[in-house]
Amino acid sequence: MFRLVDEGLRAWHAGASHWAGRDNLNSRAIGIEIVNLARDDAGVFTFPAYAPEQVDALIALLADITARYPLIGPTDLVGHSDVAYWRKSDPGPRLPWRCLFEAGMGAWFDEPVRAMYQRRFHVGLPPEVEVERAFQRYGYAPAKNRQGFVQRTRAFQMHFRPRDYGGVLDAETCGILYALNEKYLGLCS
């Protein structure tokens, strides 16, 4: 593990970014780069698994950082693809976000609440304008167009449903999103 920039200084790690209503997160974020040899071969992405040692080191580092900065909440532990979905795909779908949550780091949905919303949305998905608001409430940047909506949905799926991250909005994705908003923001639909 290497510290490249003192936490009191600004780095250009996040780049053009947005989370929880704020743009350009470089001055208010601590960036962690995890080595992973993901590849993009003409639009075909390959995401290797993270080594258990990397995950253990990440959990220890996050525990240290969140102990020193108690205002960092569970929904603030995010990846490049969450804060810059229009240009980033890392850490990719192989980062075990649920494992991080089970170790006390980050956010995850409650399965019974997800299932309840998913059953509701099998009858019919909420209007996209409502889903757009739900993504923004959780922290994601507004989608500027259809492509952005798909990219953001894909980033969300890589984080919370890594087995299927094609960017297609479906009942399960909406169920996860609404369950997260209910759990962490107290917003029920």
pLDDT at 81: 94
* Residues labelled as active-site residues: 33
For the chain, list residues with pLDDT below 50: none
What is the distance between the alpha carbons of residues 34 and 157, in angstroms, rounded to a whole number? 20
pLDDT at 11: 76
pLDDT at 42: 72
Picking from 132, 131, 140, the residue whose alpha carbon sits closest to that of residue 158 is 140
What is the distance between the alpha carbons of residues 9 and 183, in angstroms, rounded to a whole number? 33
pLDDT at 189: 62
What is the distance between the alpha carbons of residues 157 and 10, in angstroms, rounded to a whole number? 30
pLDDT at 40: 74
Sorted by where each starts, the structural domains of the chain and their CATH numbers stand as 18-185 (1.10.101.10)
| H, E, C per residue of the chain | CCCCCCCCCCCCCCCCCEECCEECHHHHCCCCCCCCCCEEECCEEECCCCCHHHHHHHHHHHHHHHHHCCCCCHHHCCCHHHHCCCCCCCCCCCCCHHHHHHCCCCCCCCHHHHHHHHHHHHHCCCCHHHHHHHHHHHCCCCCCCHHHHHHHHHHHHHHHCCCCCCCCCCHHHHHHHHHHHHHHHCCCC
